[in-house]
Amino acid sequence: MAYRPNALLTSLETAAAKAGLFLNIKKTKYMTFNEDDNHLPICSSDGTQLKDVSDFRYLGSYIADSKKDFLIRKGLAWNACNKLHNIWHSNIANTTKLVFFRACVESILLYGAETWTMKKRVSRSPRRHIHQASYEGTEHLMA
């Protein structure tokens, strides 16, 4: 069966209307993969053209680019790490500080990681950053 996005959208709108629902066409967007840039636009049943996007965020993660998602997560994790400044400079045992790190920083970095599309270079990055931050990168903070 050929890919017919307009027919699919029309049948979705029809089924939704039967249930008393409607599509908010202003918020509805679409993304294409493995298509040339000359594809026909997708239009709703009233003729409104949907917006074609190259990437979008779904459940907190970017769909098209895992590297972008990882870089955002990395920034959020470092921000969380910096907010724990008082913990790092306290007299708490280093093992307890490591538990704080794993709970408060590493969890932020790795949120959604199971959905990332990994290349060999990127797949080593989270481990490398966790290792550096938890052992080498925060060593001076735990002194």
Please report how many Cα atoms fall inside a 13 Å half-sphere around the Cα of residue 107, on the Cβ side.
7
Judgement on whether residues 133 and 68 belong to the same structural domain of the protein = yes
Specify if 143 maps to a domain.
no
Judgement on whether residues 39 and 98 belong to the same structural domain of the protein = no
Q: What is the mean pLDDT of residues 67-72?
A: 85
Number of structural domains (the chain) is: 2
Task: Give me the domain span that covers residue 130.
Answer: 61-137
Specify if 142 maps to a domain.
no
Instruction: State pLDDT tens for residues 11-64.
Output: 989 999 999 998 888 888 888 877 666 777 888 888 888 888 888 888 878 877
CA 41 vs. chain centroid, Å, equals: 26
Judgement on whether residues 69 and 37 belong to the same structural domain of the protein = no
Judgement on whether residues 12 and 30 belong to the same structural domain of the protein = yes
How buried is residue 68: exposed, middle or buried, by Cβ count under 10 Å (0-12/13-18/19+)?
middle
Instruction: State pLDDT tens for residues 75-129.
Output: 999 999 999 989 999 999 999 999 989 999 999 988 887 777 766 655 555 556 5
Judgement on whether residues 65 and 112 belong to the same structural domain of the protein = yes
Which tokens hold the place of 83? 């907010």
Judgement on whether residues 91 and 114 belong to the same structural domain of the protein = yes
